[in-house]
Amino acid sequence: MSQLQPNRSKAALNRFLPGLVGIAALSVLYWAGMNLELPGFLGKLTSPMLWRLLLQSTKETLWMVGVSVTLAVIGGLPLGVLLVTTTPGNVTESPLVYKVLTTVVNIGRSIPFIILLVAIIPFTRLVVGTSIGTTAAIVPLTVAAIPFVARIVESALKDVDKGVVEAAQAMGASPWQIIIKVLLPEALPTLVLGVTITAVNLIGYSAMAGAVGGGGLGDLAIRYGYQRFRGDVMLMTVVVLVLLVEVVQSLGDWAAETLNKK
């Protein structure tokens, strides 16, 4: 193991290199904007005004995505577990529960996000007291992500070696113990990858949150970059989004690989 260590840290560096380079480049631009007055397009890219907008929107995106991913995992995980354990031949089999759950999940997943966003406005108002703003956008994002997470959890748990589950049963494990001590730990690396996919998807979905005044990077790109023909804003939002996805994905990959003992 110990001989592998240098290789490992080298591999980790390689994995995070694009993200680190991107962050460094943005930091240089930010510093330049705060300290220098550059001419032409470079001046536009380093304008303090643009950076204030970018920082604000990035924060909004991170907030929306962070909270909705967390809530979606909290909601989707038990649902996904149930989808697995209620299938015939499984620890708490129940065809009826499975049928109901799978139908609900399918319906949830088939509604286009932009429609869901508008359709559940009354529900959003009920939950957070308002239907516009960043926090209000979290509700539809979460609702959209729960069935997605549920399916991801389902497929991750189904991948767990049947023999291992059987061994646990043979040792007298209860259904609950099998879920907590076998299925989830064994599926953890896959689950982490699944959560990463969810987060990346939600970064994309959150761009539509502007429709309910949610703000965020996507909203910035549409309002300034598209509607006001501000190429500099458009460019920088896209760069930040790309970087965000890059960082989230490489973190997720790294975590999954570290957790995977297979």
Partner 1 sequence: MIEIKNLTKVFTSNGNKIVALDDVSLTIKKGEIYGIIGLSGAGKSTLIRCINMLEKPDQGQIFIGGKEITALSGRQLRKERSKIGMIFQHFNLLSSRTVAGNVAFPLEIAGTPKAQIKERVNELLYLVGLADKANMYPAQLSGGQKQRVGIARALANNPEVLLCDEATSALDPQTTKSILALLQDINKRLGLTIVLITHEMEVVKEICDSVAVIDNGKIVENGPLVNVFAHPRTEAARRFIKGVIQIDLPEEVKEYHLRQVDDSKSAVIARLSFIGTSAGEPVVSSLVRHFDVDANILAGNIDHLKDVPFGTLVVELRAKNGGLDKALKYLAERGIEIEVFNDEPTSA
Structure tokens of 82? 């149930």
In angstroms, the CA 89 to CA 150 distance is 20
The one segment of 80-88, 118-126, 136-144, 168-176 that binds partner 1 by CB under 8 A = 168-176
Q: Of residues 174, 228, 231, 242, which one binds partner 1 by CB under 8 A? A: 174
Burial class (CB in 10 A: 0-12, 13-18, 19+), 128: middle
Q: Of residues 3, 40, 229, 261, which one binds partner 1 by CB under 8 A? A: 261
Q: Based on CB atoms, which residue is closest to partner 1, 9 or 166?
A: 166
The one segment of 89-97, 178-186, 206-214, 240-248 that binds partner 1 by CB under 8 A = 178-186
222: nearest Cα among 239, 208, 236: 208
* CA distances, 226 to each of 72, 137, 142, 201 (Å): 31, 21, 27, 22
Amino acid at 225: G
Question: DSSP state, 120?
Answer: T
Amino acid at 215: G
5 binds partner 1 (CB under 8 A): no
168 binds partner 1 (CB under 8 A): yes
Task: Judge whether 144 and 205 are in contact, CB under 8 Å.
Answer: yes
173 binds partner 1 (CB under 8 A): yes
In angstroms, the CA 25 to CA 191 distance is 32
Interaction residues for partner 1, span 186-205 (CB under 8 A): 186, 188
69 binds partner 1 (CB under 8 A): no
Name the minimum Å distance from CB 166 to partner 1.
6
181 binds partner 1 (CB under 8 A): yes
Q: Based on CB atoms, which residue is closest to partner 1, 182 or 212?
A: 182
Residues that bind partner 1 (CB under 8 A): 161, 163-164, 166-174, 177, 181-182, 185-186, 188, 259, 261-262
